[in-house]
Structure 1
């Protein structure tokens, strides 16, 4: 099928979603995704961050769709025309989505371990606004330990359901989920059960914010001060393909390998994640490929780092140059003292 996204036409297989088609073109066209996770079946359709405008439904029926549609669950049709970054309605809607996601999300990036690799940070940086209209008190929850290695910060959760789908699809028995409804909804375990299985650590990797954190890594370092390298080992439970995060000569964290969209393709076991923290446990393949637009590349690529358009545009609109013709009479007493 032929589909046109932001004036770029490509051919895709039947059954391809708009999101998947846009990703085939590249990151400059692909909509943001907070809940969609390609390796997880049925994910998507929760956050509405990927809404796009379909200006022509198909070749047979070229009428535009009346409302914005979620690109992660909408399949393309022959001759479909989609507008993403070139449509003002889409961009304005995303500002509202960011504001909605941040209604209860605490502004604790300076102490959050997810800072620097947080999808909500990236989403807000690219599509958010600098001011907030809310004055009401935010919903707050107590921090909860979900087993020996995972801590839940429900204050930061955006209910993307990724961790629920992960537990459903790669573990034998899920013991956590979304409890209650509406503004009372929260991620929780039932009957106070801890999450304890060989692949439970993967819910940390799939969380797009800092709601699920690794207790063995908490407050140890900032991600932009670490050195990620690709490594593997012989493991009878998983593929053994991981990313090791070094601080000097010390392995302070082990995660699954992620693609350019921040998605883990091969989930790893808890033995590899939590127990193998020595270089001698691994065969090192080489440095990880890090996007130059990522904060993880700080102090690694220097002046070649790509600067996002939003902060530059914001600075141009909201900051004024200093007027050098101001009255400087207030400086006279200082001159006399000199």
Structure 2
């Protein structure tokens, strides 16, 4: 007999393993009913419960106790029960609460999307577009911090930080030398404490990939290009430190940056080392697999790069050159 339990989310039933969170149960269904998550990260133990963007309404607790939960709950931290019924996008209460959460996240966040390197792949941008208000009720000045260099490759913009703790969990769980964390409480909380020394380990660059906003940015890529003008290509190499599976971001024939591969929820599939991320920016360093598939809703897909073979591959193959002539000429104009 199956030990799975049945839960219904927005009228759609799904069977999941005991101990599954509401958020992960919704992810098994997929689509629009999946609650947004700014702090939860499936690869990081203990993450979640910080941002409250994944709030849902439990209209039926379980078959044994059908009473609804009195308040909205964080779906990333609430375990499903057999017979549970959950409302996400079908609940006006949830939509209104999420709007308030987004307003709270944007209280201190600067409106510098036009110059932010995270623009185009920022989860807060997506969230504010879907649930944000056109105006703010906040009348006080935003909090400001000085920029901090984390070694020579990463820069911290605390002004943009939403305190999701992802970078702290990453440094704590995939390295043995975490020297930073969250100091202070409330409006004075910030990522700090000897953070300049956090570059000492070979996996510190992963804090860039897990950051959902533009608080932690790659200094080697800063202001070089907009993400929607680049061509994401999947590649791999024989790396002794990590899996070596990455995404190369091309402009013409130049590799502007290297990132870890991410799933449909923007989470890293496998963490990569700093050598792959910062030191291997030549096509000759990699085995090209092909263009990376990007959601049609993503602004990155605006250039329709998915019809274009990687430029180095095209140039070495006359047949591909002729077949992709139009796309090649268009791509090399950037």
With normalisation by structure 2, the TM-score equals 0.89
Question: Displacement of 1:15 after TM fit?
Answer: 0.7
Given that 2:178 and 2:198 are in contact with CA atoms closer than 8 Å, whether structure 1 keeps it comes out as no
Given that 2:262 and 2:268 are in contact with CA atoms closer than 8 Å, whether structure 1 keeps it comes out as yes
Hey, what's the Cα distance between the residues in 2 that align with 1:278 and 1:301? 20
Which residue, out of 21, 26, 30, partners 1:22?
Answer: 26
Corresponding residue for residue 109 of structure 2: 105
Is residue 2:176 matched to residue 1:172?
yes
Given that 1:292 and 1:301 are in contact with CA atoms closer than 8 Å, whether structure 2 keeps it comes out as no
5+ long unaligned stretches in structure 1 = 303-338
With normalisation by structure 1, the TM-score equals 0.88
Which residue, out of 258, 262, 266, partners 1:258?
Answer: 262
Given that 2:8 and 2:84 are in contact with CA atoms closer than 8 Å, whether structure 1 keeps it comes out as yes
Given that 1:175 and 1:195 are in contact with CA atoms closer than 8 Å, whether structure 2 keeps it comes out as no
Is residue 2:88 matched to residue 1:88?
no
Counting only pairs closer than 5 Å after superposition, residues 98-247 of structure 1 correspond to structure 2 as 98-190=102-194, 193-247=197-251
Given that 1:6 and 1:84 are in contact with CA atoms closer than 8 Å, whether structure 2 keeps it comes out as yes
For the pair shown, the structure with the greater C-alpha radius of gyration is 1
- Which string of whole-angstrom CA distances, capped at 9 and with x for unpartnered residues, describes residues 4-41 of structure 1? 00000011110110000000101311000000000111
- Which string of whole-angstrom CA distances, capped at 9 and with x for unpartnered residues, describes residues 209-237 of structure 1? 00000000000000000000100000000
* Cα 1:248–1:181 shift into 2, 3 Å: same
3-state SS of paired residue (1:193) = helix
Detail structure 1 runs of 4+ shifted over 4 Å in the superposition.
none
Counting only pairs closer than 5 Å after superposition, residues 251-330 of structure 1 correspond to structure 2 as 251-300=255-304
Hey, what's the Cα distance between the residues in 2 that align with 1:20 and 1:191? 32
3-state SS of paired residue (1:28) = helix
- Which string of whole-angstrom CA distances, capped at 9 and with x for unpartnered residues, describes residues 260-299 of structure 1? 0000020000000000000000000010010011111113
Instruction: Quote the RMSD (CA, aligned, Å).
Output: 1.2
Hey, what's the Cα distance between the residues in 1 that align with 2:100 and 2:75? 17
3-state SS of paired residue (2:257) = strand
* Cα 1:300–1:179 shift into 2, 3 Å: same
Hey, what's the Cα distance between the residues in 1 that align with 2:144 and 2:174? 30
3-state SS of paired residue (1:103) = coil
5+ long unaligned stretches in structure 2 = 307-334
How many residue pairs get matched?
302
- Which string of whole-angstrom CA distances, capped at 9 and with x for unpartnered residues, describes residues 70-122 of structure 1? 00011100000000000000000011000000000000000000000000001
Given that 1:176 and 1:195 are in contact with CA atoms closer than 8 Å, whether structure 2 keeps it comes out as no
Given that 1:147 and 1:194 are in contact with CA atoms closer than 8 Å, whether structure 2 keeps it comes out as yes
Given that 2:148 and 2:196 are in contact with CA atoms closer than 8 Å, whether structure 1 keeps it comes out as no
Corresponding residue for residue 77 of structure 1: 81
